[in-house]
Amino acid sequence: MIDIFIDNTAIPCNEGQTVLEAARKNNISIPHLCFHPALKPSGACRICGVEVTSPTGRQTVMLSCVLKVKPGMVILTDSPLVRSHRQKAFVRLFRMAPQAHRIRDLAHRYQVDLPPEPDGCIRCRLCIRVCQEIVKAGALKMEKTAAGSQVVKGDGQCIGCGTCANLCPTGVITVTDHDSVRTVAIQDRTVGQLPLERCEACGRMYATSDFLNRVSHISPDHPDTKEHHSLCPACVKLMSTRAVTEMAHLKK
Ligand code: SF4
């Protein structure tokens, strides 16, 4: 038997044991995820780092699951050096498996701050910019929340054009048409809910009234554009094909 010192307490150990095994046997808490008593240690998760003082007095962090005990070894499990190492190791694991509650719970237990859970948005602001610069609705903005910066409903009114969803590189913005209402949402955050208009030719719900009013307002007063605003894109296409065919027929 040999003695090592963990957090200033002498711990009797068997030669060949690891520091983590000695700590577990003596109910000393060191976080670990990749250790299993039936398997050889690998040091893969890296969260079991402890501070070791070398004979020269130098402090370093080593992984307790692979570190073999030595007589008189001095170990700290919760020093500033350990906390800094632990923070980096937990963030690394969290990035690989953000859905894992076990990592989040363990981090919480050891007072490690993790970044907000990824929400599918890469903060490119394309949606905000297109809504502001091109659609001119200003219906989206970036806001600081408890979960970090998020795209939220802006001060302007969404017209349900769907341009933000079309441009979103990660597909996190959705446009859903249901019961004559279009809903634009970023995950569970609704940006706009607007009534849909029916196509006068086929009866299909195809665009929001606000969007059609906007198009009608900004497009020049020309019969080739305005007369088609009450038709869905498919019917407009059909009518133009018919018109072209009829023109060709007349020319014969
Ligand atoms: S759907 Fe709404 S939020 Fe998106 S670009 Fe159009 S007006 Fe802006």
Return the domain boundaries, the chain.
2-109, 126-251
Q: Give the whole-angstrom CA distance, residue 10 versus residue 69.
A: 12
Instruction: Name 177's bridge partners.
Output: 182
Q: What is the structure's pLDDT at 86? A: 98
Maximum CA extent, the chain: 107
User: What is the spatial distance between Cα 42 and Cα 152, in angstroms, rounded to a whole number?
Assistant: 44
Nearest CA to ligand 1 atom 4: 164
| Whole-prediction pTM | 0.67
Is domain 2-109 annotated with CATH 3.10.20.740?
A: yes
Output the CA torsion 166→168→172→175 (10° steps): -20
Q: Any residues with Cβ below 6 Å from ligand 1, and which?
A: 130-131, 135, 137, 139-140, 158-164, 184, 191-192
Residues in the chain: 252
Residue type, 81: L
pLDDT tens for each residue of the chain, 252 residues long: 899 999 999 999 999 999 999 999 999 999 999 999 999 999 999 999 999 998 788 999 999 999 999 999 999 999 999 999 999 999 999 999 998 999 999 999 999 999 888 889 999 999 999 999 999 999 999 999 766 789 999 999 999 999 999 999 999 999 999 999 999 999 889 999 999 999 999 999 999 999 998 888 877 776 666 666 788 888 888 877 665 566 566 666
**Could you identify the atom of ligand 1 that is nearest to the CA of residue 192?**
2
